[in-house]
Chains A and B, each alone.
Chain A
Amino acid sequence: AQKITQTQPGMFVQEKEAVTLDCTYDTSDPSYGLFWYKQPSSGEMIFLIYQGSYDQQNATEGRYSLNFQKARKSANLVISASQLGDSAMYFCAMRVGPGNQFYFGTGTSLTVIP
């Protein structure tokens, strides 16, 4: 069975500091994709970053990077230089199998403190 686990319901970070949001996954399929989404209070899910299971290097997109540790089945999101606008819910997701279905974690609420 496919599973995504986010164990941090809530996190706080000081403005301009870096923060790591944890995500572990479970699948027996060798081909999968890992995604992070941001959901501000407005409700829209915003795509942040993608990591493929065969990618050799960790993905980076601006201030976002994905710390991919395949052996540990973890895909943590690192946000550098936090900004007040980063306060939101963050969801980790996995795509696996031929159906392009996504499996989502329960999310982490991030609050950036001025």
Chain B
Amino acid sequence: DVKVTQSSRYLVKRTGEKVFLECVQDMDHENMFWYRQDPGLGLRLIYFSYDVKMKEKGDIPEGYSVSREKKERFSLILESASTNQTSMYLCASSRSWMKNIQYFGAGTRLSVL
């Protein structure tokens, strides 16, 4: 079974802090994604990566950055957390071929106070 692991289920941070959300997948997938999920808005893509050290902006990259130093790990960084970044963050991974099914982690619920 594919396993995508997010380092924290719940996180509470203060405004202005630098926040790291970590995601690890164990299926050697080429692609990795970070989404945020807010009620009534569905999932919105923040950043994605096709390969190690590659990154592409999604629909809402402002205020975020990412790092992919190893194939299995994709980190989302909030450089200076703000209250409007309080949200559920979901990481996903997929292969670059066949059906490209995205497999998700359990999510990190981040509160910025």
Residues of A within 8 A of B (CB): 33, 35, 37, 42-47, 50, 52, 91, 93, 95, 99-102, 104-107
A91-B43, A99-B48, A105-B42 known; A35 and B107 CB under 8 Å?
Answer: no
A44-B104, A45-B104, A50-B101 known; A99 and B56 CB under 8 Å?
Answer: yes
Q: Are B31 and A100 in contact (CB under 8 A)?
A: yes
> CA separation between A95 and B97, bound complex, in Å?
12
> How far does the Cβ of A70 sit from chain B's closest Cβ, in whole Å?
17
Q: Are B41 and A106 in contact (CB under 8 A)?
A: yes
- Report the nearest B residue to A105, measured CB to CB: B42
Q: Contact string, B38-81, partner A, CB cutoff 8 A, digits 1/0?
A: 00111111001010000010100000000000000000000000
- For the complex of A and B, list the 6 residue pairs with the smallest distance between their C-beta atoms, beginning with the closest: A45-B104, A43-B107, A104-B43, A106-B42, A104-B42, A44-B106
> How far does the Cβ of B3 sit from chain A's closest Cβ, in whole Å?
11
- Report the nearest B residue to A52, measured CB to CB: B99
By secondary structure, the B interface counts as strand
Q: Contact string, B86-106, partner A, CB cutoff 8 A, digits 1/0?
A: 001010101010011111111
- Report the nearest B residue to A37, measured CB to CB: B104
> How far does the Cβ of A52 sit from chain B's closest Cβ, in whole Å?
7
In the assembled complex, which residues on chain A have CB atoms less than 8 Å from the CB atom of B31? 100
Number of A-B contacts defined by CB within 8 Å: 55
Besides the known contacts A33-B100, A43-B88, 12 further A-B residue pairs in the complex with CB atoms under 8 A apart: A33-B99, A44-B106, A45-B90, A45-B92, A93-B102, A95-B100, A100-B31, A100-B48, A104-B35, A104-B42, A104-B44, A105-B42
> CA separation between A35 and B96, bound complex, in Å?
16
B13 sits at the interface (CB 8 A): no
> How far does the Cβ of A34 sit from chain B's closest Cβ, in whole Å?
10
In the assembled complex, which residues on chain B have CB atoms less than 8 Å from the CB atom of A47? 101-103
In the assembled complex, which residues on chain A have CB atoms less than 8 Å from the CB atom of B94? 100
Q: Find A42's partner among B43, B101, B106 (CB 8 Å cutoff).
A: B106
Q: Are A102 and B104 in contact (CB under 8 A)?
A: no
In the assembled complex, which residues on chain A have CB atoms less than 8 Å from the CB atom of B45? 101-102
> CA separation between A35 and B56, bound complex, in Å?
22
